[in-house]
Structure 1
Amino acid sequence: MKGRQMSDRQDGDGALDAAEPEKASSRGQGGSGASGPDREGPAQGASREGGEVSVAADDRRAGGPDPYDGRSRRQAAVALVLLGLATVAAAVLTTPWQVLTGGPPDPARDFTAAQIARAQVFDAAMSLPSYLSLAITLVFAGVLVATPFGARVLDRLKGPWWLRVILGVVVLTAIVELLRWPLGVWSETLLRDYGLSVQDWGSWTADRLKNLAVEVFLTSLMLVALVALARKVRRWWIPAAAGAFALTVAASFVYPVVFEPLFNDFTSMRQGPLRTNLMAMAERDGVPVEDVLVADASRRTTALNAYVSGFGATRRIVVYDTLLRAPQPEVELVVAHELGHAKEDDVLHGTLIGGLGSALGAILLYLVFGALRRRAGVTSIADPRAVGVVMGLMTLGTLLMSPAQNLISRHIEARADVHALDLTRDPATFVAMQRRLAVTNISDLSPDAMEYLLYASHPSSPERIAMARAWAKLNGAPVP
């Protein structure tokens, strides 16, 4: 349950973030000796790799089959269609399309003119760095896909192929991050001006660098595996699709216990009436919860939030320590919302759909790469210099999928809201809680169509309040 509807990352997400669908974040010239359209890309890199050359180059010299021949492309196209249908079916069947909604949202009914004006001014201020960051993301990804820039950067790197892949991810990520860094500083300054951030610059920088380190690690792991497969298997898209699915599921499972502690400390909610009521509510709801964790978010923000992550043995319900300052009934209602996610296995379903989408992306990469490889200055995925074009394609794919992901997410969040109301039967507290979240987090109360499409993973606060009033009417409760 996130208060601000645009994004958790206020500096404008977007880019070369091959590992993350939620939420997404963005990603010179140089180098002689890069292959142009008329030169053999893999062969150019052979001297750097101790005589190793790409599978594609070896095949051509030996008269072997082309990994992008017509038959292979037809097989990949059939697999793409079948897997695409499976992914769409999974998304359609697990998404609650028929969710209770209220009438047209009316911010003026629940928020003062000053609160509405403040939200509008804040949103306008944050939108500029956000859209500029998105523009950098798109432009840089386009450069990697449509020009040999990535190949030229990789040409300058020394070492065995796997090291060049890793260094390529590091260097390309560093380039785009240097471009985006001033925008991040701008966004952080705005957050401080509006009282949402309490971090000093050292803490902010450390968090940003840790986030980049996680991104680089996961992207490097993925691309090293991809290049290794392409060097061994002609139809590399088959094991790559399976590996992409497995990596997505594994990352979602281990993220709560491996990566989340890099950013926050988590402690069990202390014994007392609140914990007792929350555990009793979970038992009444039939959701096995061993613990409710509290994150020390107050060291960086004043925003209120809670979330559920992981599945199976790593599932956890987490509340920000800032949320504990709210009245106890409101905290209980927030946790009831998160119990709705746990009860419906939303994280697991989202992970499986994300895994199918990743597998779909691996096949699509094979088909699209064949048409772009010479423009990008490489001839095969087996060439480590292809890292740039692959990162660019994954970035563009992630951005293109964001509207669909947000649409599904909004319906899932609405279902969790209804679950919270069914469990607590307290629409008045629900409305009070939504007001508190919106005012404290300075949520956008009337997002424009573009922002709603690109950034809104939750319904707006007025929409959620309208839904609670509709629930009250249907269930014979006093309408707040």
Structure 2
Amino acid sequence: MRKRWPLWLTLALVVYAAGICLYFTFGNLYAPSPQYAGTPADPGTFMTPEQIHKGESLSRIHSLVYFIATPLHAAVLALLLGFGVRLRNRLESRLRSSLLRTALFVLVFLAVIDLLFLPLDYVLLRVDRGYGLSNTPLSTFLFDHVKDLGVEWVSTGFVAIVLLWLMKRSPKRWWLWLSVISVPLVVFVTFLQPVVLDPLYNKFEPLHNASLKGKILALATSADIPAHQVYEVNMSARTNAVNAYVTGIGQSARIVLWDTTLNKLKDDEILVIMAHEMGHYKEKHIYIETAVGIVVTFALLWASQRLLEQFVRRGGHRFGIRREGPDLAALPALLLIVTMLGIALTPAQNAFSRYLEHRADAYAMRLTGDGDAAIRAFQKIAKDNLSPVKQPPLVVWFRGTHPDLQDRIVFFEQFKK
């Protein structure tokens, strides 16, 4: 039985994948609510049948990949536990420096996982390009993966070095000290993201449209938001979708518009979207999400410490993981535990995110009073992003960080009336 667990795990994944394929292949999952037929929330009033079909098909594909790839990622971590032990043994036989061993262990392990899932990411790229949503060339796609790996290696490697040191110093309380250390790290990374990390992938420039910039800054002034600059980013080199966001904290806070948004939406529609983003800033959602994230991190690490301790004590020796002292080979097991707990928490996190997004929508209406522009903006977003206005419950629970477009349009219509 012990030697056959990879086979049973593979069979379970096959059965699960077959069920997910049946769920997303058949059935009218994306039908809009009948009571909104003929209203602005009915996609038939602003999208062609072809656009509706393409949006639903694309959503089925992305959801299918998500619901298969997520447990597959956890399964791969489980299957790589033995590889982690062999990698640890080889590094210990050749390197004396524990820091260098940890850094190389993390790099090799992350690179293996990235290479295993690279074909799946490439398939999604081809699908998005086939549906006219992505413009990303293969060279950019591969270079982005290299940059992702580099950023992940630096961040994960640093955490792994600190974690192993804490495990050695405090075997029972490392989760507490790591949680405490994570607080300033999260704040620091949030501050750095718009000025250091984001420019690694895209080019940011001050908004060229002086008239629109003046309107946005005037809107920010009326909301008592100390904004002095608005940025545009050249996302048209990668995608035809539209989006905008506010990122960073303190002096690094930025209002950012995709150039696709500037090209496809009218000024009043852009102002409503900007008012939504200002709602996030005004209601301090980034601080709230950071605070909630810190609390969740404490709970997650506490549970992970206990589960890892039980795993190493009862079954770690079967894989070659040592019970004494911190072991490099235990890091994949810890990552697996954190991954599984993260999947379990996803529905609650998404529900909280949808609540904050609705709050931002309500703020945008209070600030602009323009329900008509909001309706037009989100109808165009549905068309240009090929987004179904209604998603099935399973997708809402695990992928829905924003309310359904149908619910948002209905809210704007009610405000308009």
TM bucket, shorter chain = 0.7 to 0.9
- Amino acid across the alignment from 1:431: I
1:117 corresponds to 2:61: no
Given that 1:248 and 1:354 are in contact with CA atoms closer than 8 Å, whether structure 2 keeps it comes out as no
Per-residue CA deviations over 1:106-149 (Å, capped at 9, x if unaligned) read 444544433322211222233333333223212123445xx544
1:372 corresponds to 2:306: no
1:420 corresponds to 2:358: no
1:134 corresponds to 2:70: yes
Aligned partner of 2:347 among 403, 427, 430: 403
Aligned partner of 2:119 among 176, 179, 182: 182
Residue 466 of structure 1 corresponds to which residue in structure 2?
410
Separation (CA, whole Å) in 2 of partners of 1:452 and 1:380: 43
Per-residue CA deviations over 1:317-366 (Å, capped at 9, x if unaligned) read 11101111121111111111111011011112111211222222222222
Residue 253 of structure 1 corresponds to which residue in structure 2?
191
Separation (CA, whole Å) in 2 of partners of 1:380 and 1:187: 43
Q: Secondary structure at the match of 1:373?
A: helix
Deviates more, 1:431-440 or 1:216-225: 216-225
What TM-score, normalized to structure 2? Answer: 0.84
Separation (CA, whole Å) in 1 of partners of 2:355 and 2:295: 20
Separation (CA, whole Å) in 2 of partners of 1:449 and 1:286: 38
Which 4+ stretches in 1 moved above 4 angstroms? Answer: 103-106
Q: Residue 331 and residue 410 in structure 1: after superposition, are their counterparts in 2 closer, same or farther (change >3 A)?
A: same
Given that 1:431 and 1:465 are in contact with CA atoms closer than 8 Å, whether structure 2 keeps it comes out as yes
Separation (CA, whole Å) in 1 of partners of 2:361 and 2:216: 17
Residue 306 of structure 1 corresponds to which residue in structure 2?
244
CA deviation after TM superposition for structure 1 residue 432, in Å: 0.5
Residue 80 of structure 1 corresponds to which residue in structure 2?
none
Deviates more, 1:166-175 or 1:154-163: 154-163
Residue correspondence of structure 1 range 271-286 to structure 2 within 5 A: 272-286=210-224
Aligned partner of 1:359 among 275, 291, 298: 298
Given that 1:227 and 1:382 are in contact with CA atoms closer than 8 Å, whether structure 2 keeps it comes out as yes
Q: Which runs of 5+ in 1 are unaligned?
A: 1-102, 474-480
Separation (CA, whole Å) in 2 of partners of 1:149 and 1:208: 23
Separation (CA, whole Å) in 1 of partners of 2:221 and 2:82: 58
- Amino acid across the alignment from 1:276: G
Separation (CA, whole Å) in 2 of partners of 1:165 and 1:359: 24
Q: Secondary structure at the match of 1:307?
A: strand
Greater helix proportion? 2
Separation (CA, whole Å) in 2 of partners of 1:470 and 1:417: 12
Per-residue CA deviations over 1:187-230 (Å, capped at 9, x if unaligned) read 00011111111121101111122122212221111111111112
Separation (CA, whole Å) in 2 of partners of 1:107 and 1:434: 11
Residue correspondence of structure 1 range 60-99 to structure 2 within 5 A: none
More RCO (CA 8 Å, sep 6+) = 1
Separation (CA, whole Å) in 1 of partners of 2:338 and 2:146: 21
Residue 88 of structure 2 corresponds to which residue in structure 1?
154
Given that 2:52 and 2:386 are in contact with CA atoms closer than 8 Å, whether structure 1 keeps it comes out as no
Residue 388 of structure 2 corresponds to which residue in structure 1?
444
Q: Secondary structure at the match of 1:288?
A: coil
What TM-score, normalized to structure 1? Answer: 0.73
Q: Residue 208 and residue 444 in structure 1: after superposition, are their counterparts in 2 closer, same or farther (change >3 A)?
A: farther
Aligned partner of 2:138 among 201, 224, 227: 201
Aligned partner of 1:329 among 256, 268, 272: 268
Q: Which runs of 5+ in 2 are unaligned?
A: 1-34
Q: Secondary structure at the match of 1:444?
A: coil
CA deviation after TM superposition for structure 1 residue 417, in Å: 1.0
- Amino acid across the alignment from 1:127: S
Separation (CA, whole Å) in 2 of partners of 1:372 and 1:149: 17
Aligned partner of 1:263 among 201, 206, 224: 201
- Amino acid across the alignment from 1:385: A
Count of residue pairs brought into register by the alignment: 370
Separation (CA, whole Å) in 1 of partners of 2:241 and 2:332: 37
Q: Secondary structure at the match of 2:205?
A: strand
1:348 corresponds to 2:287: yes
- Amino acid across the alignment from 2:329: R
Separation (CA, whole Å) in 1 of partners of 2:325 and 2:188: 24
Q: Secondary structure at the match of 2:65?
A: helix
Residue 65 of structure 1 corresponds to which residue in structure 2?
none
Q: Secondary structure at the match of 1:240?
A: helix
Per-residue CA deviations over 1:405-464 (Å, capped at 9, x if unaligned) read 111111111111111111111111101000111110111322222111111111121111
Q: Residue 165 and residue 304 in structure 1: after superposition, are their counterparts in 2 closer, same or farther (change >3 A)?
A: same
Separation (CA, whole Å) in 1 of partners of 2:403 and 2:45: 17
Given that 1:298 and 1:322 are in contact with CA atoms closer than 8 Å, whether structure 2 keeps it comes out as yes
Q: Secondary structure at the match of 1:237?
A: helix
The percentage of counterpart residues that share the same residue type is 29
Separation (CA, whole Å) in 1 of partners of 2:299 and 2:61: 37
Separation (CA, whole Å) in 2 of partners of 1:332 and 1:314: 22
Given that 1:136 and 1:179 are in contact with CA atoms closer than 8 Å, whether structure 2 keeps it comes out as no
CA deviation after TM superposition for structure 1 residue 394, in Å: 2.1
Separation (CA, whole Å) in 1 of partners of 2:269 and 2:371: 11
Given that 1:306 and 1:319 are in contact with CA atoms closer than 8 Å, whether structure 2 keeps it comes out as yes
Q: Secondary structure at the match of 1:289?
A: coil
Residue 232 of structure 1 corresponds to which residue in structure 2?
169
Given that 2:54 and 2:131 are in contact with CA atoms closer than 8 Å, whether structure 1 keeps it comes out as no
